[in-house]
Amino acid sequence: MKFKRRLETRAVVDLVPMIDVVFQLILFFLVSTTFAVLPGISLDLPKSSTAQGVRTNGITITVEADGGLYVNTERVEMEALDAALEALGTDIPRDAVPVSLEADSAVPNGRIVNVLDSLRRTGFVGVNLRTRE
């Protein structure tokens, strides 16, 4: 009996393992990448040799060197600061809400005192001054 010999080559490339490896690499790089959180307002914070790191989840007030004033991310004028602070609804008493004050090193002392007075008038008493080491 004579058998017919087949000389055809069947080349089949299975792409599923390659797709799995590429997917795993993409997931690895997505998970291991650290995202830098850059501030939206550039400040030259004053230096302090005794600064301690404090993380607050309260209100952040930013005072720029050119006179810009921000409550969290909203720009307000100095005259409207009391109204902006009153409009912030908090579930806890205002004297327990942490406030972080970021002021450029070129901001005059009088402007910082005005912001602190406005905070006291609206009932916020716990203020942290942000500096850099």
Residue, of 96 and 60, whose pLDDT is higher: 60
Q: CATH number, domain at 112? A: 3.30.420.270
Q: Which of 101, 105, 89 is nearest to 45 (CA)?
A: 105
For range 116-127, the mean pLDDT: 86
| CA–CA distance, 46 with 93 (Å, rounded to integer) | 30
> Within a domain: residue 82?
yes
Reported confidence tier of residue 55, pLDDT bands at 50, 70, 90: low
> Within a domain: residue 27?
no
pLDDT tens profile 68-92: 899 888 889 988 888 888 887 666 7
> Within a domain: residue 15?
no
> Within a domain: residue 19?
no
> Within a domain: residue 123?
yes
| pLDDT, position 36 | 62
**Torsional class of 35: left (φ above 0), alpha (ψ -120 to 50), beta (otherwise):** beta
Burial class (CB in 10 A: 0-12, 13-18, 19+), 79: exposed
> Within a domain: residue 111?
yes
> Within a domain: residue 84?
yes
Residue 56 confidence (pLDDT) above 70: no
Helix count and strand count (H, E) for the chain: 3, 5
Residue 100 confidence (pLDDT) above 60: yes
Range(s) of the domain holding residue 73 = 59-129
Q: How many domains does the chain have?
A: 1
| CA–CA distance, 106 with 49 (Å, rounded to integer) | 19
pLDDT tens profile 6-52: 777 777 888 999 999 999 999 998 888 876 655 566 666 677 766 66
> Within a domain: residue 12?
no
Residue 53 confidence (pLDDT) above 70: no
